[in-house]
Amino acid sequence: MTMPHNAVDIWLHAASAADISASLALYERLLQQDDFDFVLSCGDDIVLDHLGVAGDDYFGRIPEQWTAQKLVQDHSPKELIWIGSKVHANTILAVRSKLDHMVLANIDADAIPHRRIKFIPMPLERALRSFSDIFCADGDTAARLHMLNISDARIHPVGSLQSQTSVPALLGDPEEFNDLKGRPMWTAVSVQREELAAVLNAHRLIMRESHRSFLLLSPSSAKDEEHFWQTCQDYGFTTARRLDDDMPEARTQVFLADSNDEMARWLSLSPVAFLGG
């Protein structure tokens, strides 16, 4: 099979206009990674000029399954990242066999169907089962997905992909961590003990796509810093930590920051953040 000249690695889809902000934050992060080509689409009508998206990267609106099939035919993406709760079952079912990997993010419990007939799964249920990994908002959403017989290994209750947030004033030297700003990275702040495994598993998944990816991790409580440090070691991540006055190096995969005292600093360093709690 001959690949089209404009083949891409990743198809990034914002399910609705409400999901564009989070999608663009991820888009900007992906732009920092030279080894990725991707195409962006949206479920609603939007104006390209308002997006800051390169014209060649933007496919347009995906109103129904035939449009999605055309995108797959034209671009042959290897992976789909679908952001938002409006999962179009027929679209997913029409393209799933053409994709190596499908990721769903920012889905909430209200979007997950209750099965009406026990032994006959609905199209939306079949579509949700098609995703290789589902990153959902909370434990309640994860429980609803589990009731659809989706494997726990594919469900990651890590919170919503964020694009921006209101934060306190930046403390300390604002240029101290300038060297980090050119790295592909994401931030997880105010992370609870019970959320740590999901965050580290998500980072491991991200690193499969880009081995240079960097996680800036901050526990919700200072008393958990030693536990977080040991867990990062157990996962095999090369880890530096603020408590020891370490600075991240090129080979550092996780930087264990202070607790919430410097939250504004950590949130200012990357376009994508998970807020724990």
pLDDT in tens, 98-117: 999 999 998 988 888 776 55
Three state DSSP letters for 123-188: HHHHHHHCCCEEEECCHHHHHHHHHCCCCHHHEEECCCCECCCCCCCCCCCCCCCHHHHHCCEEEE
State the average pLDDT over residues 188-195.
Answer: 86
Looking at every residue in the chain, the average pLDDT score rounds to 78
Tens-place pLDDT, residues 20-49? 778 877 777 777 665 678 788 888 665 444
State the average pLDDT over residues 140-150.
Answer: 89
10-157 CATH: 3.40.50.11720
Tens-place pLDDT, residues 197-224? 989 998 888 888 777 788 888 888 888 8
Report the DSSP pairing between strands 10-14 and 79-83: parallel
pLDDT at residue number 232: 94
Q: How far apart are CA 170 and CA 155, in angstroms?
A: 34
Tens-place pLDDT, residues 80-89? 999 998 898 9
Tens-place pLDDT, residues 217-252? 888 888 888 999 999 999 999 998 888 777 778 888
Per-residue DSSP letters for 263-276?
Answer: HHHHHHT-S-EEE-
Q: How far apart are CA 104 and CA 3, in angstroms?
A: 25
Which residues of the chain does CATH 3.40.50.11720 include?
Answer: 10-157
pLDDT at residue number 229: 92
Which residues of the chain does CATH 3.40.50.2000 include?
Answer: 178-275
Cα distances (angstroms) measured from residue 27 to each of 12, 217, 235, 255: 8, 21, 28, 23
Which of 214, 169, 154 is closest to 188 using CA atoms? 214
pTM for the full predicted model: 0.56
**Fold category of 178-275 in CATH:** Rossmann fold (3.40.50)
pLDDT at residue number 254: 92
